[in-house]
Amino acid sequence: MLDIKFVRENPEAVKENIKKKFQDEKLVLVDEVIEIDRQFRESKNKADTLRGDRNRISKQIGAFMAKGQKDDAEAAKAKVKEINDELVSLEASETELEAELKKRMMVIPQMIGESVPIGRDDSENVELQKFGEPAVPNFEVPYHVDIMENLNGIDLDSARKTSGNGFYYLCGDIARLHSSILSYARDFMIDRGFTYYIPPFMIRGEVVTGVMSFAEMENMMYKIEGEDLYLIGTSEHSMIGKFIDTIIPEAELPKALTSYSPCFRKEVGAHGIEERGVYRIHQFEKQEMVVVCKPEESDIWYDRLWNNTVDFFRSLDIPVRTLECCSGDLADLKVKSLDVEAWSPRQKKYFEVGSCSNLGDAQARRLGIRIKGKDGNYFAHTLNNTVVAPPRMLIAFLENNLNEDGSVNIPEPLRMYMGGKDKIEK
């Protein structure tokens, strides 16, 4: 959510930003916000003046009574009552105007970063850099589910019976590999100075609307029927929510956290839930990075975060590349975002395995996350990034470590988590 003062003083810049995100239907909101804000401030100023008048007249009542000026005292009391009645009306108007103002401000997008390329959708994202040499073996790489089934590692048929499409049973060494990757990711981030968390897997509505836009909320979140609780789509939600309505001393920043959680997503508007695949699913697990920092440090942390993901995948010898998300591919709260994509030898192309985002002060404004500075309090900046999200990551892992006989090599960093195994075989 933008600072209302910024919108008031820079309406054309806000409109231009909306155009860059190809959301022209929101242009009208800027003028509406400015008008509602004017009415709100006008009403508030009038109310403040009336309260001053009421206090002054109230003091006169005692003086009139002391002098025996009963008629003057009664007239003053009548005036105070008149002012009180008008204040009730003004305060009701202020409450209504404030709600209308917030309603519009919540859907005006965050100002995007200067480096963000302008484009309508993810097809116009810009490749930045490749890490590792993408290779295609001299044998045919099967579909990832076929690889798993050959190793007795997945059961989709049973999952369809219990839960429907978008769910799975992992079993045997594939299930162990899944857990090993998460354990390695946890230790990888702890070794880089991040504090490990396991957060709540359900959050209240006020946290949901604080960490994401309404469109994202509708497309992603599962609501618990009859309760003000939602299943998290990523641990970023509850980790940022941890700081709601807090004032953090500058000396305690930055907060660099890494968190594990299961994740639950509707995937509304997605390109279909695969019947046989584990790429787009309703339930998965993830290791996340979250940072709360001073505004002047957020760009530095942004680069550190996505580099952590690149380093993690390269430690497992998986080639990756980075893409800068264009303006039309940015969620409304994001200043800028970068996707990490892993190489798929079967498809002979890269696919997304993680996303790093700088949200500026958008989440902090919505959730009231402030920093206590020498010259007063100010809003923090928040960032998040995926370390790894199996089972999607398993696709890249299996394809890049597959042998012609169907076995899968286990890279050295994972062997301690796999009981010393260096290979998965049928």
Q: What is the mean pLDDT of residues 88-109?
A: 94
- pLDDT the model gives residue 269: 53
Q: Write out pLDDT tens, residues 268-297.
A: 555 555 657 888 889 999 999 999 999 999
Q: Which of 352, 290, 289, 293 is nearest to 320 (CA)?
A: 352
Give the pairing type, strands 255-264 and 195-197. Answer: parallel
- pLDDT the model gives residue 157: 93
Q: Are residues 146 and 90 in the same domain?
A: no
Q: Which of 340, 343, 178, 320 is nearest to 262 (CA)?
A: 178
Identify whether the C-beta of residue 264 lies closer than 8 Å to the C-beta of residue 222: yes
Q: What is the mean pLDDT of residues 363-384?
A: 97
Higher pLDDT, 391 or 161: 161
Q: Are residues 252 and 363 in the same domain?
A: yes
Higher pLDDT, 120 or 71: 120
- pLDDT the model gives residue 65: 86
Q: Are residues 70 and 170 in the same domain?
A: no
Task: Return the SS3 of 214.
Answer: helix
Q: Are residues 97 and 184 in the same domain?
A: no
User: Which amino acid makes up residue 308?
Assistant: N
- pLDDT the model gives residue 274: 60
- E strands present in 112-191: 126-131, 154-155, 169-170
Q: Is residue 159 domain-resident?
A: yes
- pLDDT the model gives residue 279: 84
- pLDDT the model gives residue 275: 59
Q: Are residues 80 and 151 in the same domain?
A: no
CATH value at residue 361: 3.30.930.10
Print the domain residue range for 83.
4-105
Percentage of the chain modeled with pLDDT above 90: 86
Q: Are residues 14 and 145 in the same domain?
A: no
Percentage of the chain modeled with pLDDT above 70: 98
Q: Residue 270 has which token pair?
A: 């997605």
Q: What is the mean pLDDT of residues 168-183?
A: 97
Q: Is residue 111 domain-resident?
A: no
Return the DSSP state at 388: E
CATH value at residue 46: 1.10.287.40
Q: What is the mean pLDDT of residues 30-38?
A: 97
Q: Is residue 82 domain-resident?
A: yes
Domain boundary among 42, 76, 105: 105
Domain boundary among 50, 72, 105: 105
- pLDDT the model gives residue 64: 85
Q: Is residue 112 domain-resident?
A: no
Q: Are residues 42 and 75 in the same domain?
A: yes
Q: Write out pLDDT tens, residues 331-364.
A: 999 999 999 999 999 999 999 999 999 999 999 9
Helix, strand, coil percentages for the chain (3-state, nearest 5): 45, 20, 30
Q: Are residues 279 and 315 in the same domain?
A: yes
Helix (H) or strand (E) holding 260: strand 255-264
User: Which amino acid makes up residue 192?
Assistant: R
- pLDDT the model gives residue 324: 98
Q: What is the mean pLDDT of residues 41-66?
A: 90
- pLDDT the model gives residue 271: 52
| Distance, CA of 246 to CA of 273 (rounded, Å) | 39
Least confident of 188-197, 270-279, 382-391: 270-279
* Mean pLDDT (the chain, rounded): 94
Burial class (CB in 10 A: 0-12, 13-18, 19+), 283: middle
Q: Are residues 62 and 126 in the same domain?
A: no
Q: Is residue 113 domain-resident?
A: no
Q: Are residues 132 and 97 in the same domain?
A: no
Q: Are residues 394 and 351 in the same domain?
A: yes
CA 224 to chain CA centroid, nearest Å: 20
Identify whether the C-beta of residue 395 lies closer than 8 Å to the C-beta of residue 350: no
Q: Are residues 151 and 192 in the same domain?
A: yes
Q: Is the peptide bond before 295 cis (omega within 30 degrees of 0)?
A: no
Q: Is residue 35 domain-resident?
A: yes
DSSP result, 286-346: EEEEEEEE-GGGHHHHHHHHHHHHHHHHHHTT--EEEEEPPGGGS-TT-SEEEEEEEEETT
**φ, ψ at 89 (rounded to 5°):** -65, -45
* Predicted structure pTM score: 0.90
**φ, ψ at 310 (rounded to 5°):** -60, -45
* Most distant pair of Cα atoms in the chain: their distance: 108
For the sheet with 126-131, list strands across it.
126-131, 320-324, 336-344, 349-358, 381-388, 283-293, 255-264, 195-197
Domain boundary among 72, 105, 138: 105
| Distance, CA of 29 to CA of 119 (rounded, Å) | 22
Q: Residue 340 has which token pair?
A: 């990490």
Q: Is residue 117 domain-resident?
A: no
| Distance, CA of 333 to CA of 30 (rounded, Å) | 16
Domains identified in the chain, total number: 2
DSSP result, 54-103: HHHHHHHHHHHHHTT-HHHHHHHHHHHHHHHHHHHHHHHHHHHHHHHHHH
Task: Return the SS3 of 167.
Answer: coil
Q: Is residue 78 domain-resident?
A: yes
